[in-house]
């Protein structure tokens, strides 16, 4: 009996060590990707962003138009294409260290962040929450880009909470990353706080 208890205890310790190693690897991958992606948008350098876009799924852009949520799906990021409302999100400074599992509160009325910073939230259900805001959620859920984001355990939501000094610009930048296989990919860019019209 004592022997079984020791084996069980050793198994649990090894299991927890393995889980921590996975989390450490995820944090390392996400940290490198987030810095590259934000730098790519700052400098309008798609070569820094596109390696993080899965060729099968592409990258979706969530936006609002006349108060309704919508999205467009792109194969990759191309700064030579007219991206309209997304351009306002390029004016970012990104001077904050990454904080994991920290949420930043956005004041919708005053259109600014209560506190600035850079956050990565693992196990994010944000994409599923957006799906429910579409006029026909069932047709949206069936699209591959949304299917791969349906399990929150595979989704990390990144928030760069920065307040712009210019009122016309978006405050900060938000995007979703999804674990596909063993690698994290940029799957959604969220500009829903800025109404396109």
Q: Which domain holds residue 56?
A: 2-195
Could you read off the pLDDT tens digit of each residue along the chain, which spans 197 residues?
555 444 444 444 444 433 333 479 999 999 999 999 999 988 889 999 999 999 999 999 898 877 788 888 999 998 887 665 566 666 788 889 999 988 888 887 887 888 999 999 999 999 999 999 998 898 899 999 999 999 999 999 999 998 877 765 667 889 999 999 999 999 999 988 765 54
Instruction: In whole angstroms, give the CA distance from residue 93 to residue 42.
Output: 7
Cβ partners under 8 Å of residue 64, min gap 6: 70, 192, 193, 194, 195, 196
- Within 100-178, residue ranges assigned H as helices are 126-131, 137-141, 144-147
What burial class does residue 163 get, using C-beta atoms within 10 Å of its C-beta: 0-12 exposed, 13-18 middle, 19+ buried? middle
The pLDDT, as a whole number, for residue 83 is 60
Residue labelled with tokens 């190693």: 21
The pLDDT, as a whole number, for residue 90 is 64
The pLDDT, as a whole number, for residue 189 is 92
The pLDDT, as a whole number, for residue 60 is 93
Q: How many domains does the chain have?
A: 1
């Amino acid at each position: 009996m004592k022997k079984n208890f020791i084996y069980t205890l050793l198994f649990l310790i090894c299991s927890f060590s393995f889980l921590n190693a996975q989390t450490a690897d995820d944090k390392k991958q996400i940290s490198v990707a987030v810095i590259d992606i934000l730098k790519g948008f700052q400098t309008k350098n798609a070569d820094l962003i596109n390696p993080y876009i899965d060729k099968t799924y592409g990258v979706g852009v969530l936006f609002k138009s006349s108060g309704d949520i919508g999205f467009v799906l792109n194969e990759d990021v191309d700064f030579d294409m007219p991206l309209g409302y997304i351009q306002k999100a390029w004016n970012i400074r990104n001077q904050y260290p990454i904080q994991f599992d920290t949420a930043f509160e956005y004041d919708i009325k005053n259109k600014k962040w209560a506190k600035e910073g850079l956050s990565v939230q693992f196990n994010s259900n944000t994409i599923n929450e957006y799906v429910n805001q579409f006029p026909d959620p069932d047709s949206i859920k069936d699209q591959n880009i949304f299917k791969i984001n349906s399990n929150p355990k595979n989704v990390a939501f990144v928030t760069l909470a920065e307040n712009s000094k210019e009122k016309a610009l978006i405050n900060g930048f938000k995007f979703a990353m999804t674990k596909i296989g063993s690698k994290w990919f940029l799957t959604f860019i969220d500009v829903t706080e800025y109404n396109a019209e």
